[in-house]
Each structure stands twice: as structure tokens, then as C-alpha cells.
Structure 1
Amino acid sequence: MNPRSLLIIATGIFALVSCKTPEARRPVQQSSGSFIKQSAERNKVLYKKEEERIATIMEANPEQEYLSSPSGFWYYYNIKDSLDIPTPEYGDIVTFTYDVRSLEGTSILTESETGLQIYKIDQSNQDLISGLRDGVKLMKVGEQVTFLFPSYKAYGYYGLQDKLGTNVPIQSTVTLKSIQQSQ
């Protein structure tokens, strides 16, 4: 056999072998999803404990009329506006002040530490806890509301650097200063 035909045969064999379809790579370690299930169970137990703790606080303060939010927190009005003015809607810019306290009332962040907040409803990447973002939507200009947030609506797993541990429910008093309606 001459070298040229040997080269043609080798190229043909190489072409046939290299046409094999790629095989999917398999994970080195397979997970059964048990970590996620355990985490969900832990979170349910944690939420139940926080809910009971908040219920105890509400029972100890019968002078307040607590309302339940569909978002998963409780609140009462310190100052309520009875006028039929609108609450903020998507895209509106609101200004407000707030503080953060433990459920027992110990100050964690004061209004002077948090400052005047300017927030565009549902469009801002501002570093606000989800409870505040949801709570402000329930308010009218001039109202002051105290919110009781379970940890998942507050600072959750991360806590607040050097001020609040992980998975700690809080209360926050918010005063809505203005609403600038979007066009």
C-alpha cells in the first residue's frame, strides 16, 4: 500500500470516529434537594416563633389597633389621615423618615442616622428592607405608622452590621413626608 492511500484510509477512519455525538457531563455529586427542604422547614419554624412573639407584643398593647398586611407584617397608625388622598403607586417618588427598633423598643437606628429617604416606588434599587418598601405603599402624606416586621421582611439572614443579629424581627416607625406622583 502506498503512503497516499494509507493517509486517505487513516483520514477516513479519523473522520468516522470524530463524528460521535457529544455526551452530557454528569455532576460529580448529586443532591437530593434535602438541604432546601431542611432550610424551608427551619424558616417555617423561625417564622412561627417570630409570629408568636409579635402576637404577644400586640396582646400586651390593646390600646393600639393593629392591622395585618397582605405582605406579612403588622402595623398601627400613630397619626392617621382621614382625608381621601391617594397612597403612593408604581413610579411615584416618596420622601419619608424612619427609625429601627427591636420589638422591645431598644433603638437600633434613629431617624437622624437613617436620614430623609427619597424612594421611587417599585423602581428603585435603593437599599431599603422589603418591609419598608411594602409599608410605605400603605401610607398617605402626613401619616406616621409603626410597623412590626418579621425577620424575613427586615434584615433577615444578613442582619445589620454591628447593630442587629441575623433573623431578628424589628419594629420601625415611618413618617411619610411627601408623594410626587409620576406622570
Structure 2
Amino acid sequence: MRYIFVILCIALLTISCSETVARRPVTQKSGSYVKTKTITRNIERVAQEEKALKKVIESDSINDYQSSASGFWYTYVQKDTLSKPTPQVGDLVLFNYDIAAINGKVLVSQEEIGNTVTQIDQSNQDLISGIREGLKLMKEGETVTFLFPSHKAYGYYGVENRVPSNTPVRSTVTLLEIKNQSND
């Protein structure tokens, strides 16, 4: 009797110490159809926006636009001729800017925004990624007009009652001052 009790205890311990096995769902949906459709739609949107921006560039015979590695275009309104440095990581910059539709209609004026201070390469959710990246190309005293596709501007969300969603924008930025943080 004693042996039977010992064998039952060992068997019970062996069974109770086994790993729990995750239960799998009865049906699985991969979502690949939705992902494929979203990717295709976004690729088409970016191509349409780039086509519209290139059309604006071609129609502007006065300015010479350059393409950035970040996926936007820019032209100098006022260029530095004294070879001042560009802002470096951590520098504070004082600048002003406006936001307009690519046809030039002002959506948010420079007067409404006022002067803005930001730190280079620091997260600033209030500032669109295109301007954050564009500031790195500028020197103190320069004014640059940028053409941003919507994914470098306000993207899918836009700005309520100001900038519609998925809208490419034009922004004229003046870099007023660079305060070097590494020397202070």
C-alpha cells in the first residue's frame, strides 16, 4: 500500500510540474491584405505628391530648387555668403516660419506662429519633421523656402481647420540665431 501511495505521489508531481502549453486560436487572420492595401495606397499617395511638387518646381523658373536626402526640396531666398556654420546637435536655434499650400496660399502665417526656439536633433513634437531636418541645412541669417510632402509635414492628421490631412506644404523659414551649446 505504501508503494502505491509513493508511486501516485511521484506521478502527481511529474504531471503537475510540466510546462503549460499556450492554446492556439481556432482561426487566424494574417492581416496581410490590409497591410498590402495600405502600403499600396501610401506609395501611390507619395508618388502623386511628388508629382505635384515637381510640377511646382518646374513652373518656378526664378528659383533653383535642390533635393534633400530627407525627401523634400528647398531653395534659398537669402543665402549666407560669409560661410557661417550650420547648427550642430544640441545647439539652440531661433527661427520663424510659415506654412502655406504648395500653390502659395498661406495656411498658418509667420505672425501667428511667432519666433520659435528649438534644440537641434531633440524631439519637438510641435515642429514638423521637415522643418527640423531643414534647419540643419541652414546657416544663421538665411531664409529658405521648403517644399514638403505630407509625410514630412502634418501627414495623415493635418491641423484642425488649418491644414487638411495628407497635404504637401510650402514653408519659408528664416534662421535668426544659432546658440552653440557645446561652448557654453
TM-score, with length taken from structure 2: 0.89
SS in 2 for 1:58: helix
Q: Which deviations, in whole Å up to 9, do the C-alpha atoms of 1:23-54 show, x marking residues without a partner?
A: 13435633153322222211111111011101
Partner of 2:83: 84
Query: Structure 2 unaligned runs (5+)?
Result: none
Partner of 1:15: 13
Paired AA for residue 16 in structure 1: T
Partner of 1:180: 179
Distance of 1:152 and 1:83 partners within structure 2: 33
Percent same amino acid among aligned pairs? 45
Query: Structure 1 unaligned runs (5+)?
Result: none
Distance 1:101 1:136, change over 3 A: same
Q: Is the 8 A contact 1:79 1:145 kept in 2?
A: yes
Paired AA for residue 149 in structure 2: P
Partner of 2:164: 165
SS in 2 for 1:48: helix
Partner of 2:107: 108
Residues 79-158 of structure 1: pairs in structure 2 closer than 5 A: 79-158=78-157
Q: Which deviations, in whole Å up to 9, do the C-alpha atoms of 1:138-169 show, x marking residues without a partner?
A: 11111111100000000001111121221110
TM-score, with length taken from structure 1: 0.90
* Shift, 1:12, TM fit: 3.7
Q: Is the 8 A contact 1:91 1:122 kept in 2?
A: yes
Distance of 1:71 and 1:44 partners within structure 2: 16
Count of matched residue positions in the alignment of Structure 1 and Structure 2: 181
**Deviates most, 67-76 or 124-133:** 124-133
**Deviates most, 110-119 or 28-37:** 28-37
